[in-house]
A and B are shown apart, each in its own frame.
Chain A
Amino acid sequence: MDFDFSEEQTLLRDSVQKFVKEKYDLSDRRKMVKKDPGYSEESWQQFAELGWLGLPFSEEDGGFGGDLIDTSVIMTELGKGLVCEPYYASVVLAGSALRHGGNAEQKDRYITGIISGEIKATLGYAEEQARFDLNDTATTAKKDADGYLISGTKSVVQNAETADYIIVSARTSGKRTDNKGITLFIVDAKAEGVKLQNYPTVDGLRASEVILDKVKVTAADILGELDKGLELLETVRDEAILALAAEAVGQMELLYQDTVEYCKQREQFDHPLADFQVLKHRFADMFIETEQCRSLLYRALLAKQGGLAESRRVIHALKYKIGEAGRFVGENAVQSHGGMGVTEELRVGHYFMRLAVIDATFGNRDYHLGKYTELMEVPEDDGAEDFMPFM
């Protein structure tokens, strides 16, 4: 039994750390996110050269055959650096949908481009009325003479502004909230009828409302099976949650570390703040919550990787826990920094904002606690013992 990273994973971690150290000074980042496209194309090419964009794709598809743990290593380090390049949108989200749903032709066409950095893609799965339910899909794809016409609006689509392709979920049959009847389509972002409302998000990233008005696609643009898009979306969500959780754990770790360091230096009432027991105990709690999240992340990664029955359930547990602990650690880091905690000058505030966005992405803590509770195993009462469990 061991929880250590492999040699390759350690090298990967070190190389992302090196990139972050060289390229991600916080004040430079603040300037960069204000200018279009909100990240550096040069860095993106560097990602491609370093092989990061090909990490999760199979060798057969031209990638490096990395697993979910490899992706978690890279996401943790990118998260620590508050990296803005669209790795999550293009490689994690669209990449996962293409890996699991793409046919040979689609893989050849899109994955090759994603790996080389020539193509960027993203996924539009959310809608305003749906809140966090992936099945609630009002966007429709109506059968047309030689294909489909897609109409509807997709909410908060990560990095759609710079994406060449947007994979969207649309209803091909059934009622708005039916599980069956959802199909994923690969939509060319420049196609007629695609309109974007672009905006920055509070975490320094970019997103868009994607308005689709009778956008023409063909049957060849269907990703995965007709009417069975929900299953594919749920698989993508599982992998996305693992990636986001890995990012969040790295950020929580830096949040408690920064907070401890700051409170060792900062003096009030003739003492360093770290001398006060009320704060020491808060820091201990921040540490414990971070480590509990890390444990659950490892459990979820190994369960998903090993195809264990508990994997979906543990992923819901993980997203709930990341949400709860992310708020706890983030809020207490800001509180412990006093006024400095709410300035843009320090990175704690940026991690705090990012963790709040992560909680709301793909379902917040309440949503996933509800899902976990639904899926929780309740053993049948064997009737054998009459007593409450003794401890």
Chain B
Amino acid sequence: MDISLSEEDLKFKQEVEDFLAKHLPKGPELWTKRAEWFAALKEKGWDIPNWPEEFGGPGWSATQHWIWDNVTSKEVLPPTLPFGLVMLAPILMKYGNKEQQERFLPDIRDNKVMWCQGYSEPGSGSDLASLKTKAELSADGTHYVVNGTKIWTTMGHVANYMFCLTRTGNTGIKQEGITFLLLDMKDPGVEVKPIITLGGSHHVNQVFFTDVKVPVENRIGEEGQGWTYAKGLLQHERKGIAGISRSIYALSKLKEKAQRVQVGDKTLMDDPSYKQKIAKAEIELLALEYTEMRSLADMVNSGSPGAQSSTLKLKGTEMQQTIQALSLDAAGIYGAPWAKKIGPKFAKGAMESYLNGRPATIYGGCSEVQKDVIAKRVLGIG
């Protein structure tokens, strides 16, 4: 048992820290200087860390990825467009043909086009494979005609393209007959309707398809094999959602800010019951941090994240929500005003992050599905 990093890994850690110190824009420059940041990342070869080397990725080891996540968790990074970069790209690289890779990957890498994900449907949430959006091959075999609807489409109202799962066959086994298509959001017959979530945010949409023509060149891999392609991707999504080092940092910040909240002559951090709630969250994170390292060690030593990946998604997202709830508690009644410049500054954003944090235990396989997965894969039930 040994948790020390190798000399090489320590050197890499230093390199990341130095890079951030030199190039990461801070405060208001986060937006104005983001192009420079991405250029610096690209020059360093670090703009696409999760891509394999043959596609221009840096070829980081699992430990190097973990170091990157760890170091950057303490900073605010200019946001990237994750749907293309993290979710679609691995599928294109593994299952797409050369023409598709050359057509789509460069723009994804440069954050030039925005992708959205077309998986969930009104009748297919956790039971994703029951999806019904129909794609029929035209008589001349040149295109598919798509009819149906997708829901909870994050950024669908601004996206250029959608990667989506459609039904091309009904064999009786729902995982079969699913086809993976790439669809242009400007195509005739695509209609996007906003869904306003709690607190008034517009991130997600419902997308309707009426006789949308998708050329066969936009099909990934074989017809009917889409489920296999998408399933591998869900693992990527799960790993990314846990955000444990981010939670550790956020909890530490919360402990700082809670000292600004007056309670009589003292502060909220002197309140025994609040402080104990913070302590309980911190203890879970102490454990979870090591659960993640154990999973990482499994990854490095055996190539698979082991039994802990569902645990990480499940507990990691619960911890995010716990911290958001504790932040909201700290804000007190000033969590309520839906107005700018009202109340103390420390309360700003507490309600927003609490509300926007709810889907973390719903998407990427909801918590209940993760428990089903653990029961099946780890405990061997059913």
Chain A residues near B (Cβ < 8 Å): 1-6, 69, 256, 260, 264, 274-275, 277, 280-281, 283-285, 287-288, 291-293, 295-296, 298-299, 301-302, 314, 317, 320-321, 369-370, 372-373, 376-382, 385-391
Contact = CB atoms under 8 A, between A and B. Distances in A.
A373 B275 contact: yes
A242 to B, nearest CB: 13
Most buried by A among B288, B290, B349: B290
Contacts of B345: 386-387
B286 A314 contact: yes
A251 to B, nearest CB: 17
Interface in B270-290: 272, 275-276, 278-280, 282-284, 286-290
A288 B315 contact: yes
B364 to A, nearest CB: 15
Contacts of A69: 1
Contacts of A376: 275, 278-279, 282
B256 A382 contact: yes
A321 B1 contact: no
B237 interface: no
A1 B300 contact: yes
Given A292-B287, A372-B283, A387 B374 contact: no
Contacts of B283: 296, 317, 320-321, 369, 372
B41 to A, nearest CB: 22
B301 interface: yes
Nearest to B250: A389
Nearest to B63: A1
B55 interface: no
Pairs A-B, 5 closest by C-beta atoms: A295-B290, A386-B345, A389-B253, A280-B375, A284-B371
A127 B327 CA distance: 41
**Chain B, interface residues (CB within 8 Å), range:** 35 or more
A376 B276 CA distance: 10
A386 B348 contact: yes
A264 B278 CA distance: 39
28 contacts: A69-B1, A274-B382, A280-B375, A280-B382, A283-B379, A284-B375, A285-B371, A287-B311, A287-B374, A292-B287, A292-B291, A293-B287, A295-B287, A299-B286, A373-B276, A373-B279, A376-B282, A380-B256, A381-B256, A381-B259, A382-B256, A386-B346, A387-B257, A388-B254, A388-B353, A389-B250, A389-B327, A391-B353
Given A295-B294, A373-B276, A379-B256, A389 B323 contact: yes
Contacts of A388: 253-254, 257, 327, 330-331, 346-350, 353
Contacts of B236: none
B288 A391 contact: no
Nearest to A72: B1
Contact of B320 (A6, A370, A373, A391): A391
Interface string B321-347: 001100100110000000000000111
Most buried by B among A285, A320, A387: A387
B372 A277 contact: yes
A291 B283 CA distance: 14
B171 interface: no
A302 B250 contact: no
Contacts of B297: 1-3
A287 B293 contact: no
Contacts of A378: 255, 259, 269
B256 A1 contact: no
A381 to B, nearest CB: 4
Nearest to A274: B381
A318 to B, nearest CB: 9
Contacts of B324: 391
B259 to A, nearest CB: 5
A296 B257 contact: no
A379 B3 contact: no
Contacts of B330: 388
A287 B282 CA distance: 20
Given A2-B2, A386-B346, A280 B381 contact: yes
B260 interface: yes
Contacts of A277: 372
Interface in B209-256: 243, 246-247, 249-256
Most buried by B among A6, A281, A301, A382: A281
B291 A291 contact: yes
B155 to A, nearest CB: 18
B314 interface: yes
Contacts of B177: none
A46 B125 CA distance: 59
Given A288-B311, A382-B256, A391-B353, 9 more contacts: A2-B301, A260-B381, A284-B371, A288-B314, A295-B288, A298-B294, A378-B255, A385-B257, A389-B327
Interface in B355-378: 357, 368, 370-372, 374-375, 378
A277 B373 CA distance: 12
Most buried by A among B252, B254, B294, B368: B294
Contacts of B379: 256, 260, 280, 283-284, 287
Contacts of A386: 345-346, 348
B296 interface: yes
B279 A275 contact: no
A321 B353 CA distance: 28
B71 to A, nearest CB: 16
B1 A302 contact: yes
A283 B293 contact: no
A246 to B, nearest CB: 12
Contacts of B348: 386-388
A280 B301 contact: no
Contacts of B307: 291
Contacts of A2: 1-2, 297, 300-301
Nearest to B351: A388
Most buried by B among A2, A320, A377, A390: A390
A1 B5 contact: yes
A133 B259 CA distance: 30
Contacts of B101: none
A321 B276 contact: no
